[in-house]
Every structure is written in C-alpha cells, then in structure tokens.
Amino acid sequence: MAVSSLTRMTVPLSSDQSSSTQGLLMPKLKYRFRIIFENFGVSTPRTELTKQVMTFARPQVSFAEVNIPIYNSTVKLAGKHTWNDVTVSLRDDASGNVSKLVGEQLQKQFDFMEMSSASSGIDYKFITRCEILDGGNGANEPTVLETWELYGCYLQQTNYQTLDYGSSDPVSIDLTIRYDNALQTPLDTGVGAQVGRTLGTVVTG
C-alpha cells in the first residue's frame, strides 16, 4: 500500500471543511497520565501517591433541569451544575507510604481518635491535578497535553479493599474524591476558557 494513501484514512469531508490529505488526528492515550495531589495529608513528599496510582476517572459535570410548562409543550433549561465525584485507585505499598498519607488526610478531615472535626473546609481540602502526557520520559521531557485541576477536594469515601488468598493482584486503596470546581488547562481551551457571554430575553434557542 502506498504511504500516501495513509493520509486518506479518516472520515472524508467537503473540501471547504478539511484538506483531502488531513490524515487521522493522534488520540490522547489512557495510560499516559499522572495524578498530583497538593496539600494531601501531612507528610512530604507526596510523590509516592503519584507513583502508586493505577486508575483515575476524569471529571464529570451534570446540570439540573429546569422545566417551564407552556402551551402544548415544555421548554427545558439548564439549572445549577454539579461536579460528580471522581475515583482514584492506588497500589498500597509494602513500606506503608500510601496508607500513611491516606490516613493523614482522613485524620485532617476528622480526628477518629479524639472524635474531633476540622473547624473549616480550608483546614483539610486539597487540590487534585490530572495531567495527560505525550509519552516522553528520561532525556525526552514529557509534554502535558491536558490538565484537569480539581479544587476544594476531600475524601468522600475510602475503600481499603479486600484481601484474597486466591489472587495475585496487588492490594489497593480506592478513593472517592468530592470537589467544588474543576478547570481544564490551558485556559484558552476546554472548561474554563473565555467564551463570549450573550444576553437574551427569550428561553427558546
């Protein structure tokens, strides 16, 4: 097969919409990522958490529905938004670095020994940063293709998972993270980008 024919391995579009030799765009790959936690737990460094991440679910946002009943129909509007929880799965290392940091974060949220809670959210909330990389490593420094920054995070649920004589899988700790807001950087693209705000007076689009 001629190499030039590879440029046609994509969806054909009208000539005024795309070049006939555009080719297929390179996708972001699921396994090229790193997760960074800021102000998580007490001990430093926190890089052990980054190295022990197995899976991470990117943010999801949903909008409540506002229904306006009208003649013979209903108009639907977007109401308040909600950021859905994200989950991260960590390998629990033999040195106890991961379980120590997770335990410290839980203690910041609520002191289980003294039965004492934090006085305000700023005392225990942290930032979670998800970076999708281009595959670079070593002498080739990786390029960050996309970053999700989650603000106002806290651990909503911590699952220390089960042990199993019949399994050879590593022990894991699964975290459910609840947060207040998320932005996608660079800020000129994605969630958080500046988009001109239009002002109208009718509900229909």
Query: pLDDT digit string (tens) for 81-94?
Result: 999 999 999 999 99
Q: Which residue has the higher pLDDT, 16 or 127?
A: 127
E strand or H helix at 149, and its extent? strand 144-159
Counts of helices then strands in the chain (DSSP H, E): 2, 11
- 28: nearest Cα among 196, 194, 145: 145
Return the number of other C-beta atoms located less than 10 Å from residue 130's C-beta: 22
Q: What percent of the chain has pLDDT over 70?
A: 95
How many Cα atoms within 13 Å fall on the side-chain side of residue 62?
4
- 54: nearest Cα among 183, 169, 181: 169
Task: Inform me whether the pLDDT recorded for 77 exceeds 70.
Answer: yes
Task: Inform me whether the pLDDT recorded for 1 exceeds 60.
Answer: no
What does the buried/exposed string (b/e) look like for 41-64 if buried means 16 or more CB atoms within 10 Å of the residue's CB?
Answer: beeeebebbeebbeebeebeeeee
**pLDDT category, 120, cuts 50, 70, 90?**
very high
Query: pLDDT digit string (tens) for 140-160?
Result: 999 999 999 999 999 999 999
Task: Inform me whether the pLDDT recorded for 5 exceeds 90.
Answer: no
| 41: Cβ contacts below 8 Å, ≥ 6 apart | 100, 101, 102, 103, 104, 105, 108
What is the mean pLDDT of the segment spanning 189-202?
86
Q: Can you tell me the distance from the alpha carbon of 9 to that of 80, in angstroms, rounded to the nearest whole number?
A: 42
Q: What is the phi-psi region of residue 101: left when phi exceeds 0, alpha when psi lies from -120 to 50, beta otherwise? A: alpha
Residues 53 and 30 sit within 8 Å (Cβ to Cβ): no
